[in-house]
Structures are given as C-alpha cells and as structure tokens.
Amino acid sequence: MRNKKMKRVIAICILLLFVSSGCAWFETKEEETAGELAEQGVSAFTKRQYTLAIEKFEKLKTWYPFSDLVVLADYKIADSYYRLKRYDEAVMAYNEFEKLHPNNEKMPYVLCQVGHCYLNQINTTDRDPTPTQDCIKAFKRLIDFYPDSEYARKAEVHVKTCQKNLAAHEFSVGFFYYKTKQYKAALYRFKTILAEYPDLGINHKALEYIPLCEAHMERIEKQTEKKLSPDT
C-alpha cells in the first residue's frame, strides 16, 4: 500500500514538473515581442555580432510571420551574411527579399548589395570571370530599374570597372594562346576585345597582336601548302 502511494506521489511530481516546464517554455516565447526581437537583432548587428543578429531576426520571422518588422528582418539577415562575407548566402537572402517585397523602398539598396556580393568575389584577371559577369548583370539591373537612385550612379562606375576586368581577362587568355602558338584562338580573343570592350584601355594592346597573329597564321598556311605541293 505504501509503495503504491509512493509511486503515485512520484508520478504527480513528474507531471507537475512537466507542466511547469511547459508553461515556462511558453512564457519564454511570449516574453520576447516582435519589437524586442527586432531591437535585439539591430543591437547585435550594430555590435558586429552578425551571427547573433541572424538568429534574432530568424526568430522574429518564425514567431511573428505577419509582423511589419519582417521586412526589416529580411534585409538585415541579408546584410548580416554580407558582413560575414558569406556572399552566396547573402545573394540568396537579397533575392528572397526582392521576391517577397518587390516594391519596397529598399530595393535599389538591395540590388546594389547583390552587385557588391559579386564585386567582392572578383580576383585577378586570370581567374574565373563568372563573378565579374554576374556583377555586371546585377548592377545593370539596378541602373535599368532605378536609374535616378543614388546607387545607380555608383553602379555605372562598377560596371565600367568590371568591363575593364573582363577585357583584361580576354587579353590574358589571348596572350597565353599567342605564347603557346595557338594563333587562331589568340586572334579570336583579341578581336573579341575590339568588338565587346572598345575604349576601355585594352584595345590598343589587342591591335598590336592581331596583325602578328595573322602573319603567323599566314606563314603556317604557306608552309603547309608547300609541304602538300606535289612539286616538292
């Protein structure tokens, strides 16, 4: 009888512990309002605690998905990834912001940030030109959609810089082909510079090598014809 009573007391204690801990969980959740989470996120961002800022803003979005502060959370999450130099995640977050809030006043800034994500991944001219191409596309979208914004003027400068980078990349590849006696491939690269990147300061170099490539190709063609001639 005593054992049954003891088991009942233990069961009641466990039940009370579970209930009290459950209530505490709900109280903890309800303690932080959308405004408080936003304030905590902004505070963490200001202190350069970007991972914590992401955590707070993500929590705000999960707990209060219909709050007006979700807009703030969305672009601050993207900004936090940008400050952490996690550029791929930042681009995804900025693109998500555009998808959810296409008419928001922050859109010129968001498109500019996408461009900067790619701009910060551009290295030397002999590496993958994809980030440079993506950068140009991003900044051109900004210029096309918001030509009067303060960001558009800066974007035009970045586009020109990126185009110079691509022209330099084309020249470095063309020069490599030239040095390895692949004159036809080199000629194609040098002519591409003249066609796609005129007046960027690289075309004069291309003009120097175009006649050299053509001369080498002509010489090789004559040598080939001489070898195939039945008179030789």
Give the end of a domain, one of 21, 56, 88.
88
- The CA distance from 52 to 43, in Å, is 10
Q: Residue 227: pLDDT band by 50, 70, 90 thresholds?
A: confident
Rounded to whole angstroms, how far apart are CA atoms 222 and 71?
Answer: 69
Whether residue 100 is contained in a domain is answered as: no
Please check whether residues 45 and 143 belong to one and the same domain: no
Q: Are residues 35 and 145 in the same domain?
A: no
Q: Residue 102's pLDDT is what?
A: 94
Dist. CA 124–CA 192, nearest whole Å: 19
Q: Are 138 and 210 in a shared domain?
A: yes
Q: How far apart are the first and last CA of the chain?
A: 120
Q: For the chain, how many structural domains are there in total? A: 2
Q: Higher pLDDT residue, 7 or 62?
A: 62
Q: What percent of the chain has pLDDT over 70?
A: 84
Residue 181 DSSP code: T
Instruction: Note whether residue 227 is domain-resident.
Output: yes
Average pLDDT (141-146) is 96
Is residue 35 included in any domain, yes or no? yes
What is the domain-level CATH number for residue 111?
1.25.40.10
Structure confidence at residue 3 as a pLDDT band (50, 70, 90): low
Same domain, 217 and 187: yes
- Rounded Cα–Cα distance for residues 98 and 115 (Å): 14
In a domain, 122, yes or no: yes
Residue 126 pLDDT > 60, yes or no? no
Q: Can you give the pLDDT at residue 39?
A: 97
62 and 120 both lie in a single domain: no
Tens digits of residue pLDDT in 45-90:
999 999 999 999 999 999 999 999 999 999 999 999 999 999 999 9
**Rounded mean pLDDT, 29-55:** 92
* Statement to judge: residues 221 and 142 lie in one domain: yes
Residue 80 falls inside a structural domain: yes
In this prediction, residue 4 carries a pLDDT of 53
* 185/190 Cα distance (integer angstroms): 9
140 plus 49 within the same structural domain: no
* Claim to verify: residue 84 and residue 109 sit in the same structural domain: no
Fill in the amino acid letter for 43: S
Structural domain contains residue 3: no
Q: Which domain holds residue 147?
A: 105-232
pLDDT at residue 122, rounded to an integer = 85
pLDDT exceeds cutoff 50 at 214: yes
Query: What average pLDDT score do residues 151-180 get?
Result: 93
Query: According to the model, what pLDDT value does residue 200 have?
Result: 83
| Residue 212, domain member (yes or no) | yes
Residue 60 lies in a domain: yes
**Position 202 confidence tier, pLDDT thresholds 50, 70, 90:** confident
Q: What's residue 103's pLDDT?
A: 94
Residue 99 above 90 pLDDT?
Answer: yes
The last residue of one of the domains, among 61, 88, 115, is 88
Burial call 130-163: b when 16+ CB within 10 Å, e when fewer? ebbebbbebbbebbeebeebebbeebeebbebbb
Residues 82 and 163 in one domain: no
Residues 140 and 216 in one domain: yes
User: Residue 136 and residue 200: Cα distance in Å, rounded?
Assistant: 15
Domain boundary among 55, 88, 121: 88
What is the rounded distance in angstroms from the CA atom of residue 132 to the CA atom of residue 196?
15
pTM, rounded to two decimals: 0.74
CA 211-212-215 angle, to 5 degrees, is 85
Q: Which of 215, 149, 148, 125 is closest to 178 using CA atoms?
A: 215
